[in-house]
Amino acid sequence: MSSTFGNYLRVTTFGESHGKAVGAVLDGFPANVPLNDGDIQVQLDRRRPGQSSITTPRNESDILRILSGVENGKTLGTPIALIVENSDQRPNDYSTNALPRPSHADYTYMMKYGAAASSGGGRASARETVGRVAAGAAAEIFLRERFGVEIVAFVSSVGGIDAPVCVWYDINTPPDNSDKNVVNSIDINTINKTGVDQNPVRCPDQQSAKRMEEFIKSVKDDGDSIGGIITCVCRGVPAGWGEPVFQKLEAQLAQAMMSIPAAKGFEIGAGFASAAMRGSEHNDLFIKKPNGLGTQTNRSGGIQGGISNGEPIYFRVAFKPTATIGKEQKTADYQGNETTLKPAGRHDPCVLPRAVPVVESMAALVLADMALAQTARQNC
């Protein structure tokens, strides 16, 4: 079951990096949701390789085909099969597969399965995330249509260059971004995908984005790679989603995010910073809001007790530097003999810009699953 995720809405992804195709089967998706290839293609285009000089040059157009579950632009309630054919396969780029790539998944896959895809990381490749993004885009549409939920992720840090993100401010003192050309602080209550896509880094603060882009280029010129952080906000989630105790909303989000290749850290709300705060500094005080009770600040990140509280849900995901680099690396073969790994294969110098839609998609799959769980509970 390791390639299947979710309870009420179940996604199964399939396909290897240099095999014939990748994709997903989405089961449990409600009927009569408007859905067509174009809606999903938008998110796949944001994930696809070859988008800019700071992503891998692998040339895949990633054209989606919906094989089942949708008719006349509406879902049927039956399994939705989503497929993308691989066109730019170059298995020979990985003829060094005899050597496990440092900090990639070659060694561990071989130890676990005793077999490995002949090239390019197989299921451990980011190519697997095509299925997640296709399925997640459909889940995002369901959430928007039925509940008005909006999910936006963006790059908030690259190699220690931090964009000014404003997350847990007091609603009485919001950030002043009146000059739209200068974003003093990215406000997670208003940020949207168009703002995020204004530069190839997908950081909505133009000044930070420029510095990040230059840094990624210089790291790439050095034949190296760099990591960073993606921040994600989910707005419009009603109070009551999340299934304590083992399927608390933040626990499901953490699992979903940590299943993304190269993800190395997850933080909800004030997260690790809360460890240094006093209760009087951290507590989100209740106030009256148009739809009922709300909070004045949002250090909890929209979740308390594993259940959404109606405030925006926000979290951060840390990504490591890409394992495949353009430098020679001293390493060992499977027998333990010292050797040198020559640079080979195409790779992303920084996975962050392409990981943005992957984070949004995994968030959508979790929230849609929780929405259906809560609906089932309420209908009993």
Ligand X SMILES: Cc1cc2nc3c(=O)[nH]c(=O)nc-3n(C[C@H](O)[C@H](O)[C@H](O)COP(=O)(O)O)c2cc1C
Can you tell me the distance from the alpha carbon of 256 to that of 133, in angstroms, rounded to the nearest whole number? 13
97 binding ligand X? (CB under 6 A):
no
**By C-beta, is 324 or 361 nearer to ligand X?**
324
13 binding ligand X? (CB under 6 A):
no
Piece of the chain touching ligand X by CB under 6 A; list 123-131, 152-160, 232-240, 249-257: 123-131
Piece of the chain touching ligand X by CB under 6 A; list 148-156, 174-182, 272-280, 353-361: 353-361
Pairs from 342-345 (Cβ < 8 Å, separation ≥ 24): 342/96, 343/223, 344/93, 344/94, 344/95, 344/96, 345/90, 345/93, 345/94, 345/120
Residue type, 249: L
- Please answer whether residues 249 and 366 qualify as being in contact, where contact means their C-beta atoms are separated by less than 8 angstroms: yes
Please state the closest distance from residue 123 (CB atom) to ligand X, in A: 9
| Local structure of residue 167 (DSSP, 8 states) | -
Can you tell me the distance from the alpha carbon of 339 to that of 300, in angstroms, rounded to the nearest whole number? 49
355 binding ligand X? (CB under 6 A):
yes
**By C-beta, is 56 or 231 nearer to ligand X?**
56
**By C-beta, is 304 or 361 nearer to ligand X?**
361
Q: Which of residues 250-279 bind ligand X (CB under 6 A)?
A: 260-262
130 binding ligand X? (CB under 6 A):
no
Please state the closest distance from residue 352 (CB atom) to ligand X, in A: 8
**By C-beta, is 254 or 351 nearer to ligand X?**
351
Piece of the chain touching ligand X by CB under 6 A; list 22-30, 80-88, 138-146, 352-360: 352-360
Please state the closest distance from residue 149 (CB atom) to ligand X, in A: 23
Q: Using CB under 6 A, which of 250, 348, 360, 369 touches ligand X?
A: 348
**By C-beta, is 311 or 348 nearer to ligand X?**
348
**By C-beta, is 35 or 133 nearer to ligand X?**
133
Please state the closest distance from residue 280 (CB atom) to ligand X, in A: 38
Q: Using CB under 6 A, which of 24, 83, 124, 366 touches ligand X?
A: 124
Size of the site for ligand X (CB under 6 A): 21
**By C-beta, is 99 or 262 nearer to ligand X?**
262
Q: Is 144 helix (H, G, I), strand (E, B) or coil?
A: helix
Q: In 142-218, where do the E strands start and end?
A: 150-158, 161-162, 165-166, 186-187
| Local structure of residue 379 (DSSP, 8 states) | T
Sign of the Cα torsion 19, 22, 24, 25 reads negative
Can you tell me the distance from the alpha carbon of 64 to that of 137, in angstroms, rounded to the nearest whole number? 12
Please state the closest distance from residue 347 (CB atom) to ligand X, in A: 3
358 binding ligand X? (CB under 6 A):
yes
Q: Is 140 helix (H, G, I), strand (E, B) or coil?
A: helix
Q: Is 195 helix (H, G, I), strand (E, B) or coil?
A: helix
- What are the structure tokens assigned to 114, written together? 């005793």
Please state the closest distance from residue 124 (CB atom) to ligand X, in A: 4
**By C-beta, is 33 or 358 nearer to ligand X?**
358
**By C-beta, is 230 or 371 nearer to ligand X?**
230
Please compute, for residue 214, the number of CA atoms within 13 A of its CA located in the half-sphere on the CB side.
Answer: 6
Phi-psi region of 50 (alpha: psi -120 to 50; beta: other; left: phi over 0): left
Q: Using CB under 6 A, which of 163, 212, 323, 363 touches ligand X?
A: 323
